[in-house]
Chains A and B, each alone.
Chain A
């Protein structure tokens, strides 16, 4: 593959996007809305709301978060905790939705658009191979979305630290999980989605059809990414928590929602309020019958397999 030709295709597509104000103005507006306007309104509202009861109520809702996530939340006051939680957890999916929306809008039209305008004929007769054209167009679709997200992320970091930083007590954003999300998760995820969208764009007959088809691809992926990005942030907290605390499977604390653990099991020495990581949760599930059998007597626990305590 000739990299120079591939980059020429990408650069020319990007140059056309820059020329198209009707494209990049909505793109900037979208990024600004999600990364600046909405967070600024929410954070400023929490800081300036004044009514302590309401903030306390919002702060109380944070208790639905996993304990590890709760443990991550910094700040001593309800305002600080609420601001921190909103900044770190609530807006995480924006980092996925914004680039995906922008990039699929470009990607959906890129190949079928060439065909509609007749410029595909020029490319087909040029020395550029199909692979070079495809990769160039993938880059040209990925860069606007990712660039907007990175710039938006930088501004969002500044905004969060300026508004919520004083409440929390120090500048806390970006957290390591956000950096991983932005630098490690988003680019390949975006590239994967765009590769599907570009293939669709090459198959369909019109730009409108490409937009529709790309929606079918990107919406489920947005949902998946939404869940993954939220889960990654919460889950990462769990893992960090596990390192700090020693999990004793012999005495699993009853889950407050009754999802796991042995209800009514006696608290043992060394047991603390422990939230399980996913792996230890599975272990706990396996060990639960044993715990039950011990509690109910030797006969009832005949089916249970005794497990060596994990220290």
Chain B
């Protein structure tokens, strides 16, 4: 059951209005592309707001990498319109790609060359002048902490060092748009965090970042703007807060008590829109304003509460909710397990008077 304004099916493939409201660096409009029998992009529409981190979320094969290739013009879609910096990458790919920096899922480095030579190659292809090449290379390598290893052959680098070198290569020519395709793939948690911190720092310098990943945890806290993709389509797009509000306009509360079964009565109270109890009780209310009354009533009824915790939906909750809605199962409540509260004549109305009595 769709409880509140989720991404309706008919709006799923429209250009994201949120992104479109700001200056959009990238716009994809009903883009279709297929590789043989496999449909990679199926009418994908999205926009990337300027100076934000846009995260493309989706399972493997959702079309994230193809979308990135389309944005830079590395791939020319068969149908639809692509605009990057207001230019058509199919026609002016040279100009578009010069303003983009890309880090692929594989670091895509030349193992036989030294780190320095890899960066020189990129600098020359991206038109960095000879005079400014060396300072630019040193600065980019220093920024990602690999300046000491520049003279070594890349074949001897660790995976983390390769990723750092690929990041340095991507920012070497000071691009306006950075595209990261699963940049933490194959990295240990510590290196992943370091890479994500570096990506976050880049937006501070006014860059626009598009990152695609299927790891929800790494997008959490990083994404300014989310595009959830599946089977080459845009299921839903917006800021995390906006999407959370759209899907869960109410408040979620985690409750526990010395006798947990005493909490079940809450399911029938007025203002409770969903209730589920497994290890702890998860209560969805129509607003946080009801929390004091609810707690006061439980206390008055003699329930000895051991936990009262407001719950903010995670990106994972959001992601699964969006995908479930797209599959036509109706929007799942947060954590996917909360049953809808059935209206009942026995529903209590919590009032301030009751709570204070």
Q: Could you list which residues of chain A lie within 8 angstroms of chain B, going by C-beta atoms? A: 2, 4-5, 8-9, 12, 15-16, 19-20, 117-122, 124-129
Q: Establish whether residues B110 and A12, one from each chain, have CB atoms under 8 Å apart when the complex forms.
A: yes
Contacts of A2 in B (CB 8 A): 94
Contact A118 B108 (CB under 8 A): yes
Contact A12 B104 (CB under 8 A): no
| A2, closest chain B residue (CB) | B94
Given contacts A12-B121, A19-B113, contact A127 B108 (CB under 8 A): no
Q: Which of B41-49, B122-130, B227-235, B282-290 contacts A (4 or more CB under 8 A)?
A: B122-130
A124's partner among B69, B112, B126 (CB-CB below 8 A) is B69
Judge whether B102 is part of the interface by a CB distance below 8 angstroms.
Answer: yes
A-B contacts, CB under 8 A, total = 70
Secondary structure dominating the interface of B: mixed
**B residues contacting the other copy or chain, number (CB 8 A):** 30
Does any Cβ of A come within 8 Å of B330's Cβ? no
Contact A126 B126 (CB under 8 A): yes
Q: A19-B113, A122-B169 are in contact. List 18 more A-B contacts (CB 8 A).
A: A5-B124, A8-B121, A16-B112, A117-B110, A118-B107, A119-B110, A120-B108, A121-B106, A121-B108, A122-B108, A122-B122, A126-B97, A126-B122, A127-B94, A127-B126, A127-B127, A128-B125, A129-B93
Supposing A5-B124, A8-B125, A15-B117 touch, asked if A125 and B110 sit within 8 A by C-beta, the answer is no
Within 8 A of A (CB), among B98-145: 98, 100, 102, 104, 106-113, 117, 121-122, 124-127
Interface centre among A4, A117, A119 (most CB of B within 10 A): A119
Q: How far is the CB of A18 from chain B (nearest CB, A)?
A: 9
The answer for the CA separation of A5 and B108 in the assembled complex, in Å, is 19
B72: interface (CB < 8 Å): yes
Residues in A whose Cβ lies below 8 Å from that of B104: 118, 121-122, 125
Q: In the complex, A9 Cα to B121 Cα: how many Å? A: 8
Decide if A119 touches B109 in the complex (CB within 8 Å): yes
Q: Pick the contact of A15 from B113, B126, B169 — CB < 8 Å?
A: B113
Chain A positions within 8 Å of B75 at CB level:
124
> Considering the chains assembled together, what is the distance between the CA atoms of A241 and B74 in angstroms?
59
Interface pair B100/A125, CB less than 8 Å apart: yes
14 residue pairs from A and B, CB less than 8 Å apart: A8-B121, A8-B125, A12-B110, A12-B113, A19-B112, A117-B108, A120-B108, A121-B102, A122-B104, A124-B72, A125-B69, A125-B100, A125-B102, A126-B97
Measured between beta carbons, the chain B residues less than 8 angstroms from A119 are 108-110
Q: In the complex, what's the smallest C-beta–C-beta distance from A109 to chain B, in angstroms?
A: 13
